Structure 1
Amino acid sequence: MAEAILIDLFSLQMNSQTNDIQKLLFSTLERIEKRFSASAPFVYIMCCQTPRSERSSEQDSLLKVISSFQILKKGTEVVCKTSTAAALYTIKQKLDEKDLSIIKIILPVQRKALMEVFVDHLFTAVYQFHFEDFGVDCEGNNLQQIAEPQNDIQTLPAHEMELIRSEIQTYLESLPDLKGKLTILKSSLVPGHIFLHGFTTRTGGISYIPTLSSFNLFSSSKRRDPKAVVKENLRRLANAAGFDPETFHSVKVNHASDVWIMGKPQPDSYDGIVTNQKDVTIAAPGADCIPVLFADPVKKACGAAHSGWQGTLLGVAMATVNAMITEYGCDVKDILVVLGPSVGPCCFTLPRESAKEFYNLDPKCVRQFESPTPYIDIRRATR
């Protein structure tokens, strides 16, 4: 059963018949109340906010009618924006604040294919969407009463899909940095005239999900942060750091020790990556886990690895070094290694059985070994 209902009136503009829309909205909201009498869902009415200087008297009248529902109907909120991308993303934020994921969209049937593309770009598999036909066409002409969900398969021409992607990108680019400015940390060990390098922090992106940093660079179907947002964060990083986002390659985390040698067939998953190619950017994610960078200024080869506690025990850092030695003839003494920001020994614990492996590696990697959950220094273990 739907947790939220979105009524899409965005396309109803110049020729809309105010009385017909008002009646249809009332009947739709009453129908919703009857269907969900026990636990009424949140209702969002999405409409177009034309600049005042460009509005007709009909549009002003329609906007007043729509806005009045926010007062008349409890749990109803009107979201008026200048673009579909802006309106839908604003509603997404409201859904995420309430942790809602099952949404019914009631809309003119001609808008369904378009809305599906917007949903595909701005949401993830965490959400479930169901579509239902609204009883008017895009000109506001009354067609029928609310119908059951449509099953007809509709597709948009390629140029229209590109226009949607462009609208989404333009809107996301307009959003301000969250939680502070973009910061790139650099190491004095790595020669900057040979290797462009750095570590991002939590700030400077547009991701607003509380469990993620604003500068989230990892998309997943299990998260609420869509690929479009991650792509925008990457674009901002590329602009600030000076690389081409189209040649950006990040490891495909598996918490193991596999390494991809760029130029060879790419594995399905790997926690290390090495290359000697110019004009490419390689990366590894970090949070609790350690992002590790490797640079050989002699052979002009480099690497990146994701070293979580499992990868640390499996030796992903050494596997990356060995790949550079084997593939590019690097000398181990020439390879510079930098550990990026990660969880410290003050804050990371593991069950005692797992902690034993770190203790066997180096007793100084473990504190309070006799406790059920000893503290682990994965940075020391990696070094």
Structure 2
Amino acid sequence: MTSVPVLLDLLHGCCPHCACASLLEDSSIKNLSVFLLCGGKKKTHPDSVSHVNALLLGSSSSRSSSCGRSVHVLDARSVADSLFRFKLNLDQRDLSDVRVVTSERGRARLQRYQAQLFTAVYTFTYVICNVTSCPTCPVDHAPHTHSPTAGVQQDEDPEEEGDVDEDVTSFVQQLPSLNGPIRILHSTLIPDMFGHGFSCRGGGVSSIATLSSLNLFCSNKRRDPAAIVTENRRRLALQAGFHPLTFTLTKVNHGCAVWVVCQQPEPESYDAMVTARPGLCLAAPGADCLTLLFAEPQTGAMGVAHAGWRGTLLGVAVATVEAMVTALGCRAGDVLVAMGPSVGRCCFALSREHAVEFTHIHSECVSDTHAHTPHVDLRKANRVLLERVGVRPEHIQDDTDTQRPLVTHCSACNQQHFYSHTRDGTQFGTQAGFIWIKER
């Protein structure tokens, strides 16, 4: 039977005695697994921890017992560290429903941590148990749990004075890099006036197997939280050479909308961006979908596009070039396009109904049209469409370009270096192609 994880907050005025009593009386909870939140600059008094152990485990102070209960102490140096260890335990056991026993004050603070260290995959149910006047509690909690009624002057520190952001940021920046150093692929087609690259998956701090370790996108459907993804982006920026706060990712809708940055209001969703303004790093996500970088050295314009199979059929690459021409004064024949890591024809198949649409672009886009799920070449389709809109063939780098170092690797074939939705399923990570105009 699956255990029920309970986070018992001993830092923010929660009564251990009453909390344990309510847990033991709740018949809906089986295989009780309690995590005592004690960590931080202000440690919980040891008597409180011992008291909880005694209540939940009987006379034994061990962390497990024959009745299916277990107690785990989260006593790291910061609240963020303690909560992150709690999250890692949940992830290892593939759990997502959590009961949190805390005070009103604790709930307000823990919800701020929850927003940064967890995602909507996790469901938190808060049970309020305040310390006011509890004659049955054998432990004097007021000096140790920082109850609002204790009347104790609080020292200033991030955890007690509201700086949750500082606590979380400081913690994630100290996490060790996983899976080797950060590796960035560069296209020799893009001139040096632009900084650019295609990220790989090593060197970040994401710990879940399919997201490890330089995942660059946070989703309500995945377990990688905002704080971890923000830290991954920061480390990528430091390695690549752009400012982390300038990193601007397309708001993907698998369509063909293009945002002309600084000239138009930002749309609700868009799969491509173009601009000629320095100081911005444009980025497009990918995890099988094609990421394209656009550079036009004559005008100094640049762009990015995310082209999945739907976006390819809708012409997002063509729409990007057309936006550079009409809004930024570029000539299509001067635009350079580099295609990044993406799923190759070898690993990408669609239903026959959708695959046949690619034959209307070019017959060579689909190799086995009579199969139930024909294989489709997204790179070929985008190359053909780009050439039709006026981009010169030699100005396009893809997997057919043998004169330059390869950047258009198959994301599904190369598990060590790239994320892949096709290969990894719903908990997949995200790499990105990015470009910026260097300061002159």
TM-score range normalised by the length of the shorter chain: 0.7 to 0.9
Question: Aligned pair in 2 of structure 1 residues 336, 35: CA closer, same or farther (>3 Å)?
Answer: same
Aligned residue among 39, 44, 49 for 2:35: 44
Residues in 2 aligned to 1:26 and 1:69: alpha-carbon distance in whole angstroms: 16
Residue deviations 1:190-231 (CA, integer Å, cap 9, x gap): 112x10100101122112233324211112222222222211
Residue deviations 1:290-309 (CA, integer Å, cap 9, x gap): 11000011110000000101
Residues in 2 aligned to 1:339 and 1:161: alpha-carbon distance in whole angstroms: 48
C-alpha contact (below 8 Å) 2:40/2:159 kept by paired residues: no
Q: CA deviation at 1:123?
A: 1.6
Matched letter for residue 234 of structure 2: R
C-alpha contact (below 8 Å) 1:2/1:103 kept by paired residues: no
Q: CA deviation at 1:97?
A: 2.1
Larger deviation, residues 251-260 vs 113-122 = 113-122
Aligned to 1:343: 343
C-alpha contact (below 8 Å) 1:117/1:161 kept by paired residues: no
Q: CA deviation at 1:276?
A: 0.2
Residues in 1 aligned to 2:215 and 2:182: alpha-carbon distance in whole angstroms: 12
Matched letter for residue 30 of structure 1: L
Larger deviation, residues 335-344 vs 356-365 = 356-365
C-alpha contact (below 8 Å) 2:19/2:101 kept by paired residues: no
Structure with bigger RCO (C-alpha 8 Å, 6+ apart): 2
Aligned to 2:202: 203
Residues in 1 aligned to 2:130 and 2:327: alpha-carbon distance in whole angstroms: 65
The alignment partner of 2:360 has SS state of helix
RMSD over aligned CA atoms reads 3.0
Aligned to 1:31: 25
C-alpha contact (below 8 Å) 1:2/1:102 kept by paired residues: no
Residues in 2 aligned to 1:41 and 1:350: alpha-carbon distance in whole angstroms: 46
Aligned to 2:218: 219
Residues in 1 aligned to 2:40 and 2:167: alpha-carbon distance in whole angstroms: 16
Unaligned runs of 5+ in 2: 54-60, 143-157, 384-440
Aligned to 2:309: 309
Residues in 2 aligned to 1:2 and 1:121: alpha-carbon distance in whole angstroms: 25
* TM-score, L = length of structure 1: 0.83
- 1:97 is aligned to 2:97: no
- 1:70 is aligned to 2:71: no
- 1:124 is aligned to 2:123: no
Aligned to 1:4: 5
Residues in 1 aligned to 2:321 and 2:307: alpha-carbon distance in whole angstroms: 13
The alignment partner of 1:196 has SS state of strand
The alignment partner of 1:284 has SS state of strand
Unaligned runs of 5+ in 1: 144-157
Residues in 2 aligned to 1:266 and 1:224: alpha-carbon distance in whole angstroms: 28
Residues in 2 aligned to 1:303 and 1:49: alpha-carbon distance in whole angstroms: 45
Q: CA deviation at 1:109?
A: 4.0
Question: Aligned pair in 2 of structure 1 residues 66, 41: CA closer, same or farther (>3 Å)?
Answer: closer
Q: CA deviation at 1:159?
A: 11
Aligned residue among 54, 70, 78 for 1:83: 78
The alignment partner of 1:177 has SS state of coil
Q: CA deviation at 1:87?
A: 0.6
Residues in 2 aligned to 1:321 and 1:161: alpha-carbon distance in whole angstroms: 51
Q: Write the mapping of 1:1-383 to structure 2, written as runs, cut at 5 A.
A: 3-10=4-11, 27=21, 30-32=24-26, 34-36=27-29, 39-48=30-39, 59=45, 68-72=61-65, 74-134=69-129, 136=131, 141=140, 163-192=163-192, 194-263=193-262, 264-383=264-383
Matched letter for residue 33 of structure 2: F
Residues in 2 aligned to 1:269 and 1:50: alpha-carbon distance in whole angstroms: 42
Larger deviation, residues 207-216 vs 297-306 = 207-216
Q: CA deviation at 1:41?
A: 4.5
The alignment partner of 1:78 has SS state of strand
Q: CA deviation at 1:142?
A: 5.7
C-alpha contact (below 8 Å) 1:124/1:226 kept by paired residues: yes
Residues in 1 aligned to 2:349 and 2:204: alpha-carbon distance in whole angstroms: 29
* TM-score, L = length of structure 2: 0.73
Question: Aligned pair in 2 of structure 1 residues 43, 160: CA closer, same or farther (>3 Å)?
Answer: closer
C-alpha contact (below 8 Å) 1:291/1:307 kept by paired residues: yes
Question: Aligned pair in 2 of structure 1 residues 25, 111: CA closer, same or farther (>3 Å)?
Answer: closer
Residues in 2 aligned to 1:370 and 1:213: alpha-carbon distance in whole angstroms: 38
Residues in 1 aligned to 2:165 and 2:378: alpha-carbon distance in whole angstroms: 41
Question: Aligned pair in 2 of structure 1 residues 163, 216: CA closer, same or farther (>3 Å)?
Answer: same
C-alpha contact (below 8 Å) 1:253/1:271 kept by paired residues: yes
